[in-house]
Chains A and B, each alone.
Chain A
Amino acid sequence: MEALLKEIVGKYNYWLYIVLMMIGLYAMIAKNNLIKKLVGMNIFQTAIILFYISIGYKKGGTLPIIIMPHHHHEIPPEAIDVSKYINPLPHVLMLTAIVVSVATFGVALAIALKIYKEYNTLEEDEIRMRIRER
């Protein structure tokens, strides 16, 4: 029982991200409306971003900005305790990923707008029907 509890406390955040990710995947596959599909894609991306950020976390760590001693501009590397600062690398990767996801979402919306202008609908089956009619 204790081992199970430890497992749950140690891993529950990953499980939440997986649930979120699967909600996104389900929306991308099952939803008929293109905008809903895009929202599903965004949920998927958010899940991955949260996952990366939680990988970088260290218990008791603060944000990755070195706290300088007073009135000094330098700090010797030996004086820095690595376990006090959380891992900066996932933050860097996700920082760029967030902006790129916004940009790709913009392009996706632009394409959806074009499709709407062409077929007057965003429902996938209706678009397929209209393509077949031509």
Chain B
Amino acid sequence: MKKLALIVAILCGAILIFATSEFPEWGDPKAPANLHVSPHYIKYSVKETGVPNIVTSVLADYRGFDTMFETTVIFCAGLSCFLLLRIFNEQTEEQGVYYRHMPTGIVIHFKRDDVDIRDKDFELIDSKLVPYDLIIKTVGRVMIPFIQIFGLYVIAHGDFSPGGGFQGGVILAASIILLAITFNLKTAISKINEKTLGVLSALGVFIYAGIGCLCLLLKGHFLDYGKLAKILPVGPIKARALGMLGVEIGVGIAVMAVMIIIYINIASEGKHHEGL
């Protein structure tokens, strides 16, 4: 089997390398890929959409349908992760909760599940006995707010600088996942619970499709943001930029929620009890 796979891989590679003899040279401005539609995008992006970042204008306006269905694909991925893994009526083998008394480092095991100590001397921990690490927790606590602000900046500034909904959403999700890793999964879920995540992931897709439908109601085509000028106090070109911003916010919300859903479900095998 391994030899067969090696032969297949080498043969495929040889054919593909042979095919590159017809390719244009790397970095050739006259390559066919650079001549068909991209000159139009580069030349007219600012004039037609008012957005200097061409990647954003192509993503959200010229290829808006594509991005909408990509967002739907991501939503479906989160949904299928949830449906595959989530366990609701769990029979926990390891019952009870563990608390660590911070000044002494003693771990207390409560056999009942409903113990809830709200004291700053006690800290809820996973049963797999994660050792206490002051450096990791402090760094996490300091970094997370800045990561979130950076994520919001990346979403909001996607029109003018590298960034946009996908990247910003992933950065926001990374901040919550960092919280789940440095503290524990329960802390992360208590900040943003499962229902909120489900609603947010659907809300992101809804914002995207909703802005498209709003354009329909304003007698335009689907995702024709220029028609939003009728309800916004700006001209049609600025309205396009604002429509794109709205769409990017929708994408960012959906991506953030889905990434967190995937992480939580895989890390805790659907129990939402203890993570990594």
Where the two chains meet, the residues of A that have a C-beta atom closer than 8 Å to any C-beta of B are 7, 10-15, 18-19, 21-23, 25-26, 29-30, 54-61, 63-68, 73-77, 80, 82-83, 85, 87-92, 95-96, 98-100, 102-104, 106-107, 109-111, 113-114, 117
- Closest chain-A Cβ to B240's Cβ sits at a distance in Å of 13
Report 9 cross-chain contacts, Cβ distance below 8 Å, ordered by A residue.
Answer: A14-B20, A15-B20, A18-B13, A58-B27, A65-B54, A67-B52, A77-B46, A96-B67, A106-B263
Is the CB of B8 closer than 8 A to any CB of chain A? yes
Q: In the complex, which residues of chain B have a beta carbon less than 8 angstroms from the beta carbon of A11?
A: 20-21, 23, 25-26
Whether A25 contacts B8 by the Cβ 8 Å rule is: yes
Is the CB of B207 closer than 8 A to any CB of chain A? no
Whether B5 contacts A29 by the Cβ 8 Å rule is: yes
Chain B: residues with Cβ within 8 Å of the partner, total of 67
Interface string of B53-89 (1 = CB under 8 A from A): 1110011000100110010011001101100110000
Name which residue of chain B comes closest to A10, CB basis.
B25
Whether B84 contacts A57 by the Cβ 8 Å rule is: no
Q: In the complex, which residues of chain A have a beta carbon less than 8 angstroms from the beta carbon of B28?
A: 58-59
Whether A26 contacts B5 by the Cβ 8 Å rule is: yes
Number of A-B pairs, beta carbon distance below 8 Å = 178
Q: Which 5 pairs of residues, A with B, have the shortest CB-CB distance? A: A103-B77, A10-B25, A106-B262, A30-B5, A59-B27
Name which residue of chain A comes closest to B33, CB basis.
A55
- Closest chain-A Cβ to B251's Cβ sits at a distance in Å of 9
Whether B42 contacts A117 by the Cβ 8 Å rule is: no
Q: In the complex, which residues of chain B have a beta carbon less than 8 angstroms from the beta carbon of A90?
A: 33
Whether A14 contacts B26 by the Cβ 8 Å rule is: yes
Can you name 16 extra interface pairs (CB under 8 A) apart from A64-B54, A95-B55, A99-B255? A13-B26, A18-B13, A21-B16, A29-B4, A29-B9, A58-B34, A66-B42, A77-B46, A87-B38, A92-B58, A100-B70, A102-B170, A103-B78, A103-B258, A104-B77, A106-B262
- Closest chain-A Cβ to B169's Cβ sits at a distance in Å of 8
The B interface is mostly helix, strand or loop, or mixed, namely helix
Interface string of B8-20 (1 = CB under 8 A from A): 1110110011001
Q: In the complex, which residues of chain A have a beta carbon less than 8 angstroms from the beta carbon of B38?
A: 56, 82, 87-89
Q: In the complex, which residues of chain A have a beta carbon less than 8 angstroms from the beta carbon of B266?
A: 106, 109-110, 113
Whether A88 contacts B70 by the Cβ 8 Å rule is: no
- Closest chain-B Cβ to A68's Cβ sits at a distance in Å of 6
- Closest chain-A Cβ to B250's Cβ sits at a distance in Å of 14
Is the CB of B182 closer than 8 A to any CB of chain A? no
Q: In the complex, which residues of chain A have a beta carbon less than 8 angstroms from the beta carbon of B33?
A: 55-56, 87, 89-90
Q: In the complex, which residues of chain A have a beta carbon less than 8 angstroms from the beta carbon of B27?
A: 57-59
